[in-house]
Amino acid sequence: MSFYTALTGLNAASTDLSVTSNNIANANTISFKRSDANFGDIFASSALLNPSTVQGGGVALTSIEQEFTQGNLELSANALDIAITGDGFFPLASKDGSELYSRKGVFMLSESDQVVNSEGHTLQVHPLGTNDESNFNQAMIPLSVPRVLGATPTSSINIDIQLPKNTDVIGGAKYDFAAPSSAFTGPLVVSDGTATVTLPGGSSYGSLAEQIAAIQGVAGGGLNTNYADLAFTVDLNQAGTGIEFSYKQPGVTATDPTLSQNGTALTSTNPVVGSATPIDPDDATTYNEAQILTLYDDAGEAFKATVYYQKIGNDVVNGANTENQWKAAVYINGELAEIAGDNEDGTTNLLTFQFDSTSGDITGLVGNTTIAPSSLAGRSNPITLTLGALMHTKDFEIVDQSQNGLPQGDLVDIGVDNNGLVVATYSNGEQNFAGRINLANFTSAQGLRQQGSTTYTTTGESGVLSFGEPGSNGYGVLTGGAKERSNVDLTEELVNLIAAQRNFQSNAKALETSSSLTQTMLNIRG
């Protein structure tokens, strides 16, 4: 009996040594969880035996349990190294499709762009629903992070702009007249052959600006009806030394304007009737402002488009409004783009805008303009140009500009936040939400069956399996670019090793003694 008892003690001590040695050997294994060997007394009893005389029969291994306590975190340069702080396991799928769970968050991208560990197990996630939240009602899928993000062709452009109020009209007729004298006895007459504005004789003005204000009817209060009927505007010339007449619409055919004082005609320095001037990208005198856009075709190749803005009218009377008028043209690779929409000029493919001369607000709604596919080599779908928040102000300014369309992008970075959201960043500046890593948990993690040093499967004793987002109640948080070290305390394990060694030696001595006694008894009987 003593021999058997000592033998069970020797086996138990050997098991304890093995468990302790395994803990020490895996002290540097990422996310390894130390184990404890638990033993129980072998005790045989019977109703016929006197309890005070029953002796133990040795020792037996009852269980080897793992301690799922937290290991220290270690920073890593690998973005797909993910550590769990708190409760939870990463859900994995083996190559044969079986479900596995692990605390080891050392991942990489496979050739098929799936997130896997070194054993080839794929990290599983729930599909994302609205607001990038996990849909726990759907089956889990492998987490994939594409190395290459396909090109996105440009389909829409949104531009908010301010056009300059104080700029020259291009394409309209202009007449510069010398300044009349500030005081005169006869009338000052302005005429285009149809409408006439007359300032009575005997009038006196302190400056040329006052004269012009009187011609415009400002001095008399309100807009002079006769002035509104003129085909041209009257204003200071650019030098500020004379009067400039400009036709309100380019290409207008009307009698040349005349200006007379005291019955004597004043001669214009440039009585040339102009016509509508086509916008020519190669001639900067044909447009006032230009805006360059970078667009992308179906293959993600970049090409340039330019919007040219030309002022075509100043103080144009349109119904009840006095307007400043502009037109715009879109050129792509030096070719005038074909456009369609509410603002289409069917013959010239030009956009037109009207602005209130006083407030600068646009009069009438500017709708979307569609650039036809035929204008863009390599494109099968049109581009919609949206001009919004147009204003007529002092300076040209692009208030806001946004558009879609991107070239092909290569993966440059992966980020994982504390709540498990995986964000992939590409060389084209695009960021893509690849998925959200959820954690698995069990009512009794001690019941999991260990499959490897850091992977586990469920058993009937592991309890109910549940999933939750990191950081939610009962689930730990994630740290990207970090590893969870083992929870092995080497000092404690070395002490346990010494104790197990002494126990082994003691049981070996007991076995030796029992064997010696048995041999002695046999010798005596013999």
Q: Any idea where the domains of the chain sit in the sequence?
A: 2-69+487-525, 73-150+410-484, 156-166+276-403, 174-266
Q: What are φ and ψ of residue 506, in 5° steps?
A: -65, -45
**DSSP 3-state helix, strand, coil percentages of the chain (rounded to 5)?**
15, 40, 45
Beta bridge partners of 198: 189
Please say whether the dihedral angle defined by the alpha carbons of residues 115, 118, 124 and 125, taken in this order, is positive or negative: negative
Give residue 221's pLDDT: 47
**pTM higher than 0.75:** no
Give residue 165's pLDDT: 82
CA distance 50 to 53: 5
CA distance 103 to 482: 12
> Taking the CA atoms of the chain, what radius of gyration do you get in angstroms?
45
CA distance 149 to 426: 7
DSSP H or E segment with residue 5: helix 2-25
Give residue 182's pLDDT: 64
Residue pair 151/407 in contact by the 8 Å Cβ criterion: yes
Give residue 373's pLDDT: 63
CA distance 140 to 11: 45
> For the residues of 189-231, what is the DSSP string, one character each?
EEE-SS-EEEEPTT-B-SSHHHHHHHHHTSTTSS--HHHHHSS
Give residue 211's pLDDT: 78
Low-confidence ranges of the chain (pLDDT < 50): 221-222, 251, 253, 270-275, 342-346
Residues 6+ apart with CB under 8 A from 431: 423, 424, 425
CA distance 113 to 426: 14
Query: Taking the CA of residue 120 as centre, how many other CA atoms within 13 Å lie in the half-sphere pointing to its CB?
Result: 7
Give residue 251's pLDDT: 45
Fold of 156-166+276-403: Tick-borne Encephalitis virus Glycoprotein; domain 1 (2.60.98)
Residue pair 327/336 in contact by the 8 Å Cβ criterion: no
Beta bridge partners of 58: 42
Residue pair 445/103 in contact by the 8 Å Cβ criterion: no
Give residue 389's pLDDT: 66
* DSSP letter assigned to residue 278: P
Q: Map residue 119 onto helix, strand or coil.
A: coil
CA distance 395 to 413: 41
* DSSP letter assigned to residue 90: E
How many residues appear in the chain? Answer: 526
Beta bridge partners of 331: 306, 336
Beta bridge partners of 285: none
Residue recorded with tokens 């959200």: 436
376: exposed, middle or buried (Cβ count in 10 Å: 0-12, 13-18, 19+): buried
Give residue 315's pLDDT: 67
| Number of helices (H), then strands (E), in the chain | 4, 37
Give residue 225's pLDDT: 64
Residues 6+ apart with CB under 8 A from 317: 228, 229, 248, 323
Residues 6+ apart with CB under 8 A from 244: 174, 175, 176, 177, 234, 235, 236, 237, 238
> Among residues 228, 218, 220, 224, which one has the least CA distance to residue 194?
228
Residue pair 54/520 in contact by the 8 Å Cβ criterion: no
415's tokens: 């980020």
CA distance 228 to 250: 17
